[in-house]
Chains A and B, each alone.
Chain A
Amino acid sequence: MRNIDTHSKPGLQLIDSDMLFRKSMNGFRDVTLEALDVLKSFIPPAQDDAIHIDIGGKCRELAPFLKKDLGIEYAAIVSAVEQFYPDNKIKLESWNGQNQSDFLASLKKIANGRRISSFSILDSLDFLYLNNHLLKIVVQLSKEHDAYILLGMPNSMCFDNTARLMLGQQANFQNKIDGSSAGLVLSVDTFEQELSTNGLHIVDKTNILSKKKIDRDSTDHPIADGNTELGNFFRYIRSISDNDVSEISYFLRLCLAGQSKRNIKEDLPTPASSRPFLSVIMRTQGKRLHTLCEALLSLYAQTEKDFEILIIGHKLDDDRISAVSKIIDEQTLEMRQKTRLILVEKGNRTLPLNVGFAEAKGRYISIFDDDDVVFANWIEVFKDLHKSSPGRLLRSLCVRQSVRNAKVDGQLGLRAEDSPKRLYADDFDIFQHLRGNNTPNTSLAFPRGAFHDLGLKFDETLTTTEDWDFILRVALLLGVANSKIVTCIYRWWENDESSRTEHSEREWQKNYSIIQDKIDAHPILLPAGSSKRIRSLLDDKDRLASFEEHLKSASFEEHLRKVETQLADLEHQVRISVSLRIARLIPRPVRKIIRGCLYFMWKYLGVKALFMWRQRRSSC
């Protein structure tokens, strides 16, 4: 794909959202020029009588250039309702109505037996989109003539428009070529999907960049103005996606006609209700087949069955592919139906996650590495969290247990070495997570929208801590719903290879710094109550500073006295604690007698006597 920055082309005129295509030939340096460049780079000069047909007649300025550079005649077909621009150099065919045979007849009349080298449909897609059968005719003719089809569409989803729409304000949906109001507002993804559905295979993508900087005098809009925090934040949200088109003003797609890629029905987004609740992404290198078996067994035992499993085989050789496939084949029918094996042959440990997330069909997506294990309520707890807090990052509790391999009778198994330990915080604290990760992957379920709608992806440049980076970015945007139920065990390898041992300390530190820098590069969104938390942290800092100051100024004797007093208090507390413990060791009948004696002292000798006895004891 080519992104054409019109700023960088010497002698080219800038294009922005307010600028119309229709300029004098002297100013002809924009969409049409790019369209011409695209056509010239694919279509060889004609040796025969060839014609280019412009559906909608939006690139009439191409005519002399097509003739001169490629030896191709230009003709246009426009609707009768459109304004007619007489031009003796261009043959314009007016077509009235939506009748299929009229349309075909008009095209054939224009061609007049000549070879059609190409079509262009710029800004007229809405007309064809609404009359799908007419587009089919163009596709059919393109097939017959091996003709290219150049399609163009203004970007309705540019930054300015989406910023205004977010605030419920009118956006500026204009056709870039003639300034008329756009009848159909399509995202570029939908646009390309439509092409594919209609049998148009893209051979070239050209995006024309708009003016990068907003003219301060032309807008006072608080978001569209890139200098505000809100504007920066919104720009960051738009920039997350790999396919960020906020700075693009116009899309050009050159296509060849072929078979429809997919059925239209398949292109419709799957409704949430027909998706599995959870997609489980299980990375495996095929090195620990015994733990993979355990992981799959713990999934089979889930009380909540609404899930799918995507085993992402990373860099597996043939032997490992067949070993992993065999394990899947040996599962029960229910498990086999839920499981897909996807092979990833390149990349570091992050790429399989992006591949898995992209393939996931579930409403939520969890990472479950092949050496961990989950409790039977793992998915059930996520589902409960979803019911109470839909759309958030879901988090349950995880314990850590040390393991090592054990081989009994030649069979490799896993051996737990210590008690499951609670090392991770009960609640998700975004402030703590800004400093480091406190949540193992397996205890999380990511809403699919984080990846599929917002475009948040795992950073493939990171070789470690890619999970922390992703968790942080998702949590900051979506918030977290937390459960205090233990649902999984993170296995800690005592004497075997793991990501912990595979990478050097320096590498871990480097990745840590990269993540910190990324977070600091744009504004972040903190949950409600964060200002109170920040105040409290600052208060603590002040108190600490004041105590430090006090320590410096106070005399040594004074400190010693304080310490002595504290020690005496502590000793007293210990004495009571020890007394109580000793009391517990005294048999119950003896304890009863002592209690009776004390009661007697209190009743008959008075409280004062009891007090004096205690005082005498403590003075000793």
Chain B
Amino acid sequence: MKHKRELQSFWRKNARLQLQTILYNTNFDDICRTVEALDQSVALAMSDQLVVDAVFILGDGSPEPVLDEKKLEKLQALCSVIKLKYDYFDANLGTAAGHNRMGFNADESVDFIWIQNPDVVVMPRLFNVVLDSFKRPGVGQVEAKQLPIEHPKDYDPVTGETEWTATACVMTPRFLFDKVEGFDANSFFMYCDDVDFAFRIRELGYKTIFQPAAVCFHDKRLDADGGWMPTSAERYFSAEAALIMAHKWSYPELCNKILSYFLSTNEEHLLKAAAAFKKQQLSGALPTPRDPDHIIAKFQEGNYAKHRYAL
């Protein structure tokens, strides 16, 4: 009840945005396209006086810097409204720690933080649509829809309410980012850090919204049978994260079941994920379980939310 009293609308005219992404050996042409699309989208939001200022932080966790001064100048030349900043991490921090580094260092005046993958391009009116959803009190996050493969997690077709949001393309009020102390970088390297982040925002009573009218293109492909083609990193880190999620969000039986399954297979990435979890377990590094009554985290059929269809 306490939470409900505190709920507010984060919408404001002439908002200040921080846009952030993490590069990892990203192709320069792809970065150009991402920057160009973001700039166009911010420019349209500015023309409607929704946004007054936007800075785009390009974090880089690559072994060697992806951008040099010349390339950065070239990128800045593509922009009519947004300011670019380059932050070379000099280490592969993963998505959780990487976004925390940029988010916690955001300028005091920043109202919203937009997080996206480096291979995502946004539609021209993206920010107009996303910011509009913040007019509703209690909206804590707004996620854009990904093309060409839409995420199958369920959402209310009228309110847009959903269980969690993906940081492939999501807007979070700066206030909430600070309030939940960003991503849980101690528990997650990449994958499921966003699920956990969204759950913690919902713990505060805020709603996470999926807005199908806000669209991003995320370059994903299907195999010849129309099935999902996960990368090897996706397979390993999502396996590792699955154990931690089950543990952190108070599903001990599920956690054990997953662990047993991983140990019973011959698949290297699963065995490796199980070993990493056991190591954390033994060293006491696992996070403290929360939400014992499963009010927030409702795992269903191996997913972190109800899915509309299998992918």
Q: Which residues in A have some Cβ–Cβ distance to B below 8 Å? A: 290, 293-294, 297-298, 300-301, 303, 330-332, 334, 373-377, 397, 399, 406-409, 411-422, 426, 484-486, 489, 588
* Given contact pairs A293-B215, A332-B40, A416-B308, A588 touches B224 in the complex (Cβ within 8 A): no
B267 is an interface residue with CB less than 8 A from chain A: no
Min CB gap B125→A, angstroms: 6
Is there an interface contact between A409 and B211, defined as CB atoms closer than 8 Å?
yes
Is there an interface contact between B157 and A415, defined as CB atoms closer than 8 Å?
yes
* Given contact pairs A297-B215, A330-B44, A332-B36, A486 touches B222 in the complex (Cβ within 8 A): yes
Min CB gap A606→B, angstroms: 33
Cβ–Cβ < 8 Å partners of B36 in chain A: 332, 334
CB-nearest residue of chain A relative to B159? A408
Interface contacts (Cβ under 8 Å), in number, total: 126
- Within 8 Å by CB of A408, from B121, B148, B209, B215, lies B209
B285 is an interface residue with CB less than 8 A from chain A: no
CB-CB contacts below 8 Å: B221-263 with A: 221-226
B90 is an interface residue with CB less than 8 A from chain A: no
Cβ–Cβ < 8 Å partners of B311 in chain A: 419-420
Is there an interface contact between B132 and A409, defined as CB atoms closer than 8 Å?
yes
- Within 8 Å by CB of A422, from B124, B212, B220, B226, lies B226
B283 is an interface residue with CB less than 8 A from chain A: no
Is there an interface contact between B212 and A406, defined as CB atoms closer than 8 Å?
yes
* Given contact pairs A411-B129, A413-B145, A422 touches B211 in the complex (Cβ within 8 A): no
Cβ–Cβ < 8 Å partners of B159 in chain A: 408
Cβ–Cβ < 8 Å partners of B136 in chain A: 409
Is there an interface contact between A375 and B309, defined as CB atoms closer than 8 Å?
no
Cβ–Cβ < 8 Å partners of B135 in chain A: 409
* Given contact pairs A408-B160, A409-B136, A486 touches B226 in the complex (Cβ within 8 A): yes
Min CB gap B20→A, angstroms: 20
Is there an interface contact between A418 and B308, defined as CB atoms closer than 8 Å?
yes
CB-nearest residue of chain B relative to A291? B215
Interface SS, A side: mixed
Min CB gap B220→A, angstroms: 8
* Given contact pairs A300-B217, A416-B309, A332 touches B224 in the complex (Cβ within 8 A): no
B276 is an interface residue with CB less than 8 A from chain A: no
Task: Provide the B94-133 mask, 1 if CB < 8 A to any CB of A, else 0.
Answer: 0000000000000000000000000001011100010011
B93 is an interface residue with CB less than 8 A from chain A: no
Is there an interface contact between B221 and A375, defined as CB atoms closer than 8 Å?
yes
CB-nearest residue of chain B relative to A377? B221
CA–CA, A575 and B157, complex, Å = 46
CA–CA, A374 and B149, complex, Å = 10
* Given contact pairs A332-B36, A408-B159, A426-B224, A414 touches B124 in the complex (Cβ within 8 A): no
Is there an interface contact between B124 and A332, defined as CB atoms closer than 8 Å?
yes
20 A-B pairs within 8 Å (CB atoms) are namely: A293-B124, A297-B121, A297-B123, A300-B121, A300-B217, A301-B121, A408-B155, A408-B158, A408-B160, A408-B210, A408-B211, A409-B211, A411-B129, A411-B214, A413-B214, A418-B309, A420-B149, A422-B225, A486-B222, A486-B224
Min CB gap B302→A, angstroms: 15
Q: Which of B44, B160, B216 has the most CB of A within 10 A?
A: B160
Task: Provide the B136-167 mask, 1 if CB < 8 A to any CB of A, else 0.
Answer: 10000000010111101001111110000000
Min CB gap B218→A, angstroms: 9
* Given contact pairs A332-B124, A417-B309, A486-B221, A412 touches B148 in the complex (Cβ within 8 A): no
B288 is an interface residue with CB less than 8 A from chain A: no
Task: Provide the B197-213 mask, 1 if CB < 8 A to any CB of A, else 0.
Answer: 00000000000011111
Cβ–Cβ < 8 Å partners of A300 in chain B: 33, 37, 121, 217
Is there an interface contact between B217 and A409, defined as CB atoms closer than 8 Å?
no
B219 is an interface residue with CB less than 8 A from chain A: yes
- Within 8 Å by CB of B226, from A293, A298, A419, lies A419
CA–CA, A588 and B220, complex, Å = 37
B310 is an interface residue with CB less than 8 A from chain A: yes
Min CB gap B268→A, angstroms: 17
Min CB gap A481→B, angstroms: 17
Cβ–Cβ < 8 Å partners of B303 in chain A: none
* Given contact pairs A294-B215, A408-B159, A486-B224, A419 touches B37 in the complex (Cβ within 8 A): no
Q: Which residues in B have some Cβ–Cβ distance to A below 8 Å? A: 33, 36-37, 40, 44, 121, 123-125, 129, 132-133, 135-136, 145, 147-150, 152, 155-160, 209-217, 219-226, 264, 308-311
- Within 8 Å by CB of B213, from A290, A301, A373, lies A290
Cβ–Cβ < 8 Å partners of A407 in chain B: 157-158
Cβ–Cβ < 8 Å partners of A422 in chain B: 224-226
Cβ–Cβ < 8 Å partners of B155 in chain A: 408
Is there an interface contact between A375 and B308, defined as CB atoms closer than 8 Å?
no
CA–CA, A296 and B219, complex, Å = 15
CB-nearest residue of chain B relative to A303? B219
Min CB gap B210→A, angstroms: 7
Q: Which of B136, B221, B264 has the most CB of A within 10 A?
A: B221
Min CB gap A378→B, angstroms: 9
Starting from the known contacts A415-B157, A419-B226, 9 additional A-B residue pairs (CB-CB under 8 Å) come to A290-B213, A297-B217, A300-B33, A373-B147, A408-B155, A413-B213, A415-B212, A418-B308, A418-B309
CA–CA, A484 and B221, complex, Å = 13
- Within 8 Å by CB of B222, from A303, A373, A399, lies A399
Cβ–Cβ < 8 Å partners of B214 in chain A: 411, 413
CB-nearest residue of chain B relative to A378? B148
Q: Which of B44, B124, B157, B216 has the most CB of A within 10 A?
A: B124
CA–CA, A416 and B154, complex, Å = 10
Q: Which of A294, A377, A407, A588 has the most CB of B within 10 A?
A: A294
Min CB gap B229→A, angstroms: 10
* Given contact pairs A409-B133, A409-B135, A588-B264, A397 touches B224 in the complex (Cβ within 8 A): yes
* Given contact pairs A418-B309, A422-B226, A411 touches B213 in the complex (Cβ within 8 A): yes
Is there an interface contact between B147 and A298, defined as CB atoms closer than 8 Å?
yes
Cβ–Cβ < 8 Å partners of B210 in chain A: 408
Cβ–Cβ < 8 Å partners of A374 in chain B: 148
Is there an interface contact between A376 and B217, defined as CB atoms closer than 8 Å?
yes
CA–CA, A330 and B224, complex, Å = 35
Q: Which of B145, B147, B160 has the most CB of A within 10 A?
A: B147
CA–CA, A303 and B221, complex, Å = 13
Is there an interface contact between B121 and A484, defined as CB atoms closer than 8 Å?
no
CB-nearest residue of chain A relative to B161? A408
- Within 8 Å by CB of B132, from A303, A411, A412, A415, lies A411
Min CB gap B264→A, angstroms: 6
Min CB gap B162→A, angstroms: 10
Cβ–Cβ < 8 Å partners of B225 in chain A: 422
Cβ–Cβ < 8 Å partners of B212 in chain A: 406, 408, 413-415
CA–CA, A331 and B33, complex, Å = 12
CA–CA, A420 and B308, complex, Å = 12
* Given contact pairs A375-B221, A408-B158, A416-B308, A489 touches B123 in the complex (Cβ within 8 A): no
Min CB gap B262→A, angstroms: 13
- Within 8 Å by CB of B219, from A332, A376, A417, lies A376
Cβ–Cβ < 8 Å partners of A377 in chain B: 221
Cβ–Cβ < 8 Å partners of B133 in chain A: 408-409, 411
Min CB gap A184→B, angstroms: 50
CA–CA, A416 and B152, complex, Å = 8
Cβ–Cβ < 8 Å partners of B220 in chain A: 375
CA–CA, A420 and B310, complex, Å = 9
Min CB gap B39→A, angstroms: 8
Q: Which of A409, A414, A416 has the most CB of B within 10 A?
A: A409
Is there an interface contact between A420 and B222, defined as CB atoms closer than 8 Å?
yes
* Given contact pairs A377-B221, A412-B213, A489-B148, A301 touches B158 in the complex (Cβ within 8 A): no
CA–CA, A381 and B128, complex, Å = 34
Cβ–Cβ < 8 Å partners of A588 in chain B: 264
Min CB gap B38→A, angstroms: 10
Min CB gap B259→A, angstroms: 14
Is there an interface contact between A293 and B125, defined as CB atoms closer than 8 Å?
yes
